[in-house]
Amino acid sequence: MRNESYWLDTAPVFTGAQTGAVAGQVDVVIVGGGFTGLAAARALALKGASVAVLEAGRVIGEASGRNGGQCNTGVAQDYSALSASLGPDKAREFYRAYESAVQSVVSLVEEEDIACDLKRNGKLKLAAKPMHYEGMARTCELIRREVDADVELLTAAQARAEVGSNEFHGGLLQRNGVQIHVGRFGVGLAEAAVRHGALIYENAAVKDWKANKGGYQVNTAKGSIQAKQILLATGACQHGGPGWYRRRIVPVGSFVVATEVLPEALTEQLFTRQRSYVTSRLIGNYFRLTPDNRLLFGGRARFAMSGGSSDTKSGAVLQAAMSQMFPQLADTRIDYCWGGLVDMTSDRLPRAGEHDGIFYSMGYSGHGVQMSVHMGKVMADVMDGNTHANPWRELDWPAVPGHFGTPWFLPLVGAYYRYQDSRY
């Protein structure tokens, strides 16, 4: 078993990084070489701006290359609560932002001809309990009435016909969803950004920046560069960074295992439509097939940070859950086990805008594959003067009480969620 991301291990090598020191002057410095930063770099370069991306490690080496590969209209699972708290107009606007985000991924793949195994097959949220199905029925009716007629409620029998497990009591099907190989997509996106003129520096951790007459001097581990604007696209990065953001982002570990290559006859029996799947528990699971027919199975597993033995322990929890859900896979070998950090906000909605002259976009809260790509493009427009392009511009972003960067409270949150899952 390899303790590394399947996506990163099977991605092509990115060869477009700058080999020299960080130096010179550009219009925009982007801090972070994940999907947000790379998509913004491409979009800004297409507008004629000079751009430098500064990545502390390798491009897409963190959340963008360590996720579960889900690319869907993610906000739908909380649509009823969203509509109740923000009103139907704002809920509808946010839902459509997620719809647009999926299309942003598809458009970018098509425009840049990125070979990343794109498949359009939607997402099925599976009800783990009868009461969860009742809630899905209400949510489905509300979504169909207010914003999206192309969602469907599946009965328990219909869900079992799609997923070969007796664990579920129905499901909510959203057809606006795609699958991509996120490693191949990310490297293709980086290559596209370079092709359009962006400079990408790997292993160039940003130490700090200082305002001056020309904008900002950005100091890195590989030198300094002058920029008129800065876009912070670091998510739950643990390499440091301004405390203002760290108090508002909670880094939560998310863990994934990938099986050995499975026989096609077995996967056709277990996953007839080969969609992306997510379960309805608070501490639930998500799963899908990879392009080479492995089952990728993930979830919170343990409320802990990712890294080292934590990933291995979480992998054992995931393998047990997978075997319970699919007894047919009980003896299946696990080839990959890894973890990553999700950049959670308190209300699970993204945040983007400008603070103290620095532009930022982050807080995708587990729905970053599509939203990060979309917001990279959006922030290019915002930085070009179109502030109304940002769907999250009116959201307040208060600090999380008692949080100063290290999420000491995660075990307590996990215990509370387990208690809630046992009751409801």
Give the closest residue to 406 by CA, choosing from 217, 246, 188.
Answer: 246
Q: Which residues of 104-128 are buried (b: 16+ CB within 10 A; e: fewer)?
A: bbbebbeebebebebbebbbbbbbb
423 lies in some domain: no
Determine the Cα–Cα distance for residues 77 and 80; give it in Å rounded to an integer. 8
Q: pLDDT value at position 39? A: 98
122 lies in some domain: yes
The token duo for 173 is 């099907």
Q: What is the pTM of this model?
A: 0.95
Identity of residue 409: F
The token duo for 170 is 């129905």
Determine the Cα–Cα distance for residues 351 and 349; give it in Å rounded to an integer. 7
Angle at 337 between CA 335 and CA 340, to 5 degrees: 150
Determine the Cα–Cα distance for residues 5 and 267; give it in Å rounded to an integer. 22
Cα-based distances in Å from 96 to 147, 167, 259: 8, 31, 34
> Do 337 and 311 touch, CB atoms closer than 8 A?
yes
Determine the Cα–Cα distance for residues 121 and 124; give it in Å rounded to an integer. 10
> Do 366 and 348 touch, CB atoms closer than 8 A?
yes
> Do 33 and 51 touch, CB atoms closer than 8 A?
no
79 lies in some domain: yes
> Do 65 and 182 touch, CB atoms closer than 8 A?
yes
Q: pLDDT value at position 393? A: 97
149 lies in some domain: yes
420 lies in some domain: no
> 């970018």: which residue's tokens?
108
Dmax of the chain from CA atoms? Answer: 66
| Three-state SS sequence of the chain | CECCCHHHHCCCCCCCCCCCCECCEEEEEEECCCHHHHHHHHHHHHCCCCEEEECCCCCCCCHHHCCCCCEECHHHHHHHHHHHHHCHHHHHHHHHHHHHHHHHHHHHHHHHCCCCCCEECCEEEECCCHHHHHHHHHHHHHHHHHCCCCEEEECHHHHHHHECCCCCCCEEEECCEEECCHHHHHHHHHHHHHHCCCEEECCCCEEEEEEECCEEEEEECCEEEEEEEEEECCCCCCCCCCHHHHCCCEEEEEEEEEECCCCHHHHHHHECCCCEEEECCCCCEEEEECCCCCEEEEECCCCCCCCCHHHHHHHHHHHHHHHHHCHHHCCCCEEEEEEEEEEECCCCCCEEEEECCEEEEECCCCCHHHHHHHHHHHHHHHHCCCHHHCCCCCCCCCCCCCCCCCCCCHHHHHHHHHHHHHHC
End-to-end CA distance of the chain: 35
pLDDT tens across the length of the chain (424 residues):
899 999 999 999 999 999 999 999 999 999 999 999 999 999 999 999 999 999 999 999 999 999 999 999 877 557 888 999 999 999 999 999 999 999 999 999 999 999 999 999 999 999 999 999 999 999 999 999 999 999 999 999 999 999 999 999 999 999 999 999 999 999 999 999 999 999 999 999 999 999 999 999 999 999 999 999 999 999 877 655 578 999 999 998 889 999 999 999 999 999 999 999 999 987 789 999 999 999 999 997 666 667 778 888 889 999 999 999 999 999 999 999 999 889 999 999 999 999 999 999 999 999 999 999 999 999 999 999 999 999 999 999 999 999 887 888 777 777 777 767 777 7
419 lies in some domain: no
1 lies in some domain: no
Q: pLDDT value at position 241? A: 58
295 lies in some domain: yes
Residue 142: which residues within 8 A CB-CB, separation 6 or more? 79, 80, 83
Identity of residue 390: N
Domain count, the chain: 1
Determine the Cα–Cα distance for residues 42 and 45; give it in Å rounded to an integer. 5
Q: pLDDT value at position 154? A: 98
Q: pLDDT value at position 112? A: 98
CATH code (residue 104): 3.50.50.60
Range of the domain at 201: 6-411
Q: pLDDT value at position 306? A: 74
Neighbours of 417 (CB within 10 A): 16
